[in-house]
């Protein structure tokens, strides 16, 4: 009887619960709460009275704008993390690809070479990472950490350790690729949306996407179900590489200079976005929709802390702690699930 009651109750709540439990929804609400908190804190800090500070359209738009590069890479990373792996090399991949892109443009001033070449090399980086992780079955954490060092060194090598500057009169097609505007909408946002839609579609609607979740949840079951799990993982890494390439091209078209020594910490930003969006580090869980929320949430936090006049170091301490917190919540939830299961 008790069982029946519980079930009935479960059904009544199911639609609402499903909505709340859907990827990203709870994070979305958390983000709104945090944004409002920032508004309140900033009002208090600045004495109030002067209208909205944080929740202004201009500020929100700038949050989005800052996050676009990270966001594009985060979408690719979502795929990798759903399979239960990780790519720590995206930061230096981006640094290297920026240098390469700048070099291409300086040497050839050919938009095709600059764009396709850079993205192609990005895919190649992903191939190397993915091959090492899936076919040689190396630990992805260690492998991509090691490859980080390789990419960092390559960045310095191709640029001879200097800042490469793309001339302002470079190929218009190349500039268009990163700076065009469609009315008020920057092409950056268009790229962000295109990558999100394409990868979101792949994950939720294709055979490949559905297989990724199984691989992440139980790689052995995937193998016993005839899924080419190695190939699938390799493709995920190549997609991340392509995303890094795209981000590099777009970034170069905008800023036109690459600093091979900017050890940006991009990989931490990317991973934090993905994790905030509800992706489980243990694999099998996550979605592009969740990652979009994660990216925005990260932007809100970052901007909020900056506006509170926290130093970059302070910000990183807080972001690091948030990451640990989010990850431990995941683990705790997992333990909860286990207790539930054992009782059944």
Partner 1 sequence: MSRGDIFIELDDIVKVFPGVRALDGVSIKIAEGKVHALCGENGAGKSTLIKVMTGVHARDGGDYRIDGKTVNFKSTKEAIDAGVSCVYQELSIAPQLDVAKNLFIGNLPMKGHIIDHKTLYEKSEEILKFLEMDISPHMIAGDLSVGQQQMIEIGRALTRNARLIIMDEPTSSLSEAETDTLFKVIKTLVEDRNMAIIYISHKLDEVMELADWITVIRDGKNIISKAKTDFTQAELVKNMIGRPLENLYMKEPAEITDTMLEVNHLTRDGVFDDISFKVRKGEVVGFFGLVGAGRSEIMRAIFGVDKYNSGEVILDGKKLKGGDPAKAIENGIGFCTEDRKKEGLALKISILSNMTLVKLKALSHGGVVDRVAQRRAADKYMKSISIKAPSVNQLVGNLSGGNQQKVVVAKWLLMDPKVLIVDEPTRGIDVGSKSEIYSILSDLAKQGMAIIVVSSEVEEIMGVCDKVITIAEGKKTGEMAITPELTREHILSCALGTETDFSAETDGEKKEEVKENG
Q: Given the rule CB under 8 A, which residues bind partner 1?
A: 2-3, 6-7, 9-11, 14, 18, 205-208, 210-211, 213-214, 217-218, 220-228, 280, 284-285, 337, 339-344
Tell me the closest approach of the beta carbon of residue 26 to partner 1, in angstroms.
17
Question: Which candidate, 179, 199, 198, places its Cα nearest to that of 187?
Answer: 179
Q: Is 272 helix (H, G, I), strand (E, B) or coil?
A: helix
Instruction: Assess contact for 80 and 87: CB atoms under 8 A.
Output: yes
Instruction: Assess contact for 274 and 72: CB atoms under 8 A.
Output: no
Tell me the closest approach of the beta carbon of residue 9 to partner 1, in angstroms.
7
Report the C-alpha gap between 67 and 77 in whole angstroms: 15
Can you say whether the dihedral through the CA atoms of 128, 131, 134, 139 is positive or negative? negative
Q: Which helix (H) or strand (E) holds 235?
A: helix 229-255
Cβ-based nearer residue to partner 1, 55 or 337: 337
Cβ-based nearer residue to partner 1, 161 or 336: 336
Tell me the closest approach of the beta carbon of residue 221 to partner 1, in angstroms.
5
Question: Which candidate, 80, 88, 82, 68, places its Cα nearest to that of 246?
Answer: 68
Cβ-based nearer residue to partner 1, 107 or 205: 205
Tell me the closest approach of the beta carbon of residue 119 to partner 1, in angstroms.
22
For the chain, the maximum distance between any two Cα atoms, rounded to a whole number of angstroms, is: 77
Cβ-based nearer residue to partner 1, 252 or 280: 280
Report the C-alpha gap between 119 and 101 in whole angstroms: 9
Cβ-based nearer residue to partner 1, 162 or 206: 206
Tell me the closest approach of the beta carbon of residue 298 to partner 1, in angstroms.
24
Report the C-alpha gap between 299 and 64 in whole angstroms: 7
Cβ-based nearer residue to partner 1, 313 or 340: 340
Instruction: Assess contact for 289 and 76: CB atoms under 8 A.
Output: no
Tell me the closest approach of the beta carbon of residue 242 to partner 1, in angstroms.
18
């Amino acid at each position: 009887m008790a069982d029946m009651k519980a079930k009935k109750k479960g059904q009544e709540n199911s639609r609402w619960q499903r909505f709340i439990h859907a990827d990203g929804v709870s994070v979305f609400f958390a983000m709104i709460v945090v944004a409002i908190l920032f508004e309140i804190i900033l009002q208090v800090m600045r004495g109030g009275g002067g209208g909205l500070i944080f929740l202004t359209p201009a500020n929100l738009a700038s949050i989005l704008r800052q996050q676009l590069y990270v966001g594009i890479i985060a979408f690719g990373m979502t795929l990798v993390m759903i399979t239960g792996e990780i790519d720590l090399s995206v930061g230096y991949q981006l640094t290297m690809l920026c240098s390469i892109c700048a070099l291409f443009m300086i040497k050839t001033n050919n938009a095709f070479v600059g764009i396709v070449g850079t993205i192609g090399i990005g895919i190649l980086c992903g191939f190397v990472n993915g091959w090492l992780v899936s076919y040689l079955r190396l630990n992805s954490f260690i492998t991509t950490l090691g490859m980080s060092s390789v990419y960092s060194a390559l960045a310095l090598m191709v640029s001879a350790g200097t800042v490469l500057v793309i001339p302002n009169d470079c190929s218009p097609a190349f500039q268009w690729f990163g700076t065009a505007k469609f009315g008020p909408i920057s092409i950056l946002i268009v790229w962000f949306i295109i990558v999100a839609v394409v990868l979101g579609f792949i994950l939720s609607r294709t055979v490949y996407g559905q297989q990724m979740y199984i691989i992440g949840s139980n790689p052995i079951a995937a193998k016993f179900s005839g899924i080419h799990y190695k190939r699938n993982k390799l493709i995920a890494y190549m997609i991340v590489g392509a995303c890094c390439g795209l981000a590099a091209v777009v970034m170069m078209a905008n800023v036109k200079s690459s600093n091979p020594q900017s050890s940006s910490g991009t990989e931490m930003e990317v991973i934090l976005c993905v994790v905030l969006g509800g992706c489980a580090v243990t694999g099998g869980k996550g979605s592009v929709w969740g990652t979009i929320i994660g990216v925005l949430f990260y932007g809100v936090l970052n901007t909020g802390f900056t506006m509170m006049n926290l130093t970059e170091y302070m910000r990183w301490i807080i972001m690091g702690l948030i990451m640990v917190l989010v990850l431990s919540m995941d683990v705790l939830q997992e333990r909860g699930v286990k207790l539930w299961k054992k009782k059944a």
